Every structure is written in C-alpha cells, then in structure tokens.
C-alpha cells in the first residue's frame, strides 16, 4: 500500500512538468526554440539578391546560431551583441576555408551590432570565431553550398 501511494505521488509531481513541456508560448508551426529574437539565424534574400543573415552573441561564449549556410554570391552578415557585459568579435579563423574572406568585425561592445558584406564563390566550410573567446569554444561555421 505504501509503495503504491509513493508511485501515485511521484506521478502527481511529474504531471505539472509534463504539462509545462507542452507550453503555449511557441508560435504555431514553429518547431524551433524561441530563445532568440525574430529573424536571428535565418538566411533571407534581399530584393537586390544579397543574402542576409543575422547572428547573435550574448553574455556567454556561443554564436546563435553557430552554423549557417549560404549560396555562392554576396552575403551581408550582421552580428548583434545583446550582452550586458561581454565584448565579442567576429573573425574568420585564420588559414581556413576554401577562399579568403577579408571582412570581419574586430570589436563588438555590449549592445552593439555591426554588418559586413563579402563575396563567396567556392563551396566549402568557413570556420569563424570570436578571437577573444576562441579558447572557451566560441566558434562556428559558415557553409557555402556547392
């Protein structure tokens, strides 16, 4: 009897957590987590044909997202640093990638955002990093489709 009672009690404790997991704050049809602002990490094509993508940094050592894919052509990349404390940057990992990209963001203070434009032609992966925090794992990859 006491064993059965404890099982029921455990179920009662778990139930609210299960219900919370089905929370209603996700937009219908959106499978992605809602941890970041609208439009972050989605590649869109502007009327002039330029591919636009926005990444976010915050008070941790993560690019959100840490991977994105573009087609060969012109890319307009914006990095938004929503951090309250941390300064980041965005640099292509030296001597990597199928072709050099000379645009980077050398300094991005808390609350600041910057945009760079660059061309890519060769399919492959371009590793990038925050050079301040690369030791702490703040890295990512841009893939250029073949």
> Interface residues with Cu ion (CB under 5 A)?
88, 130, 132-133, 138
Instruction: Give the nearest distance from C-beta 95 to Cu ion in angstroms.
Output: 20
Nearer to Cu ion, 77 or 130 (CB): 130
Rounded to whole angstroms, how far apart are CA atoms 41 and 140?
Answer: 12
How far lies 74's CA from each of 5, 23, 38, 62, 77, in Å? 65, 39, 23, 25, 10
Instruction: Give the nearest distance from C-beta 2 to Cu ion in angstroms.
Output: 54
Which residue has the closest beta carbon to Cu ion?
A: 130
The residue ranges of DSSP E strands in the chain, in sequence order, are 44-45, 51-57, 67-70, 73-81, 88-92, 105-108, 113-120, 124-129, 139-144
Nearer to Cu ion, 64 or 138 (CB): 138
Nearer to Cu ion, 88 or 126 (CB): 88
Instruction: Give the nearest distance from C-beta 138 to Cu ion in angstroms.
Output: 5
Nearer to Cu ion, 105 or 130 (CB): 130
Rounded to whole angstroms, how far apart are CA atoms 74 and 78?
Answer: 13
Rounded to whole angstroms, how far apart are CA atoms 48 and 54?
Answer: 17
Instruction: Give the nearest distance from C-beta 48 to Cu ion in angstroms.
Output: 31
Diameter of the chain measured on Cα atoms:
72
């Amino acid at each position: 009897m006491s064993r059965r009672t404890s099982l029921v009690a455990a179920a009662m404790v778990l139930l609210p957590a299960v219900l919370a997991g089905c929370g209603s704050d996700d937009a219908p049809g959106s499978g992605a987590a809602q941890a970041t602002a609208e439009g972050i990490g989605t590649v869109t094509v502007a009327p002039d044909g330029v591919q636009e993508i926005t990444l976010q940094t915050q008070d941790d050592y993560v690019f959100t997202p840490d991977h994105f894919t573009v087609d060969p052509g012109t890319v307009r990349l914006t990095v938004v640093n929503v951090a309250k404390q941390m300064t980041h940057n965005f640099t292509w990992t030296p001597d990597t990638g199928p072709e050099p990209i000379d645009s980077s963001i050398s300094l991005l203070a808390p609350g600041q955002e910057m945009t760079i434009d660059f061309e890519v032609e060769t399919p492959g992966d371009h590793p990038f990093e925050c050079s301040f925090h690369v030791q702490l794992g703040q890295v990512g990859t841009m893939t250029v489709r073949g």
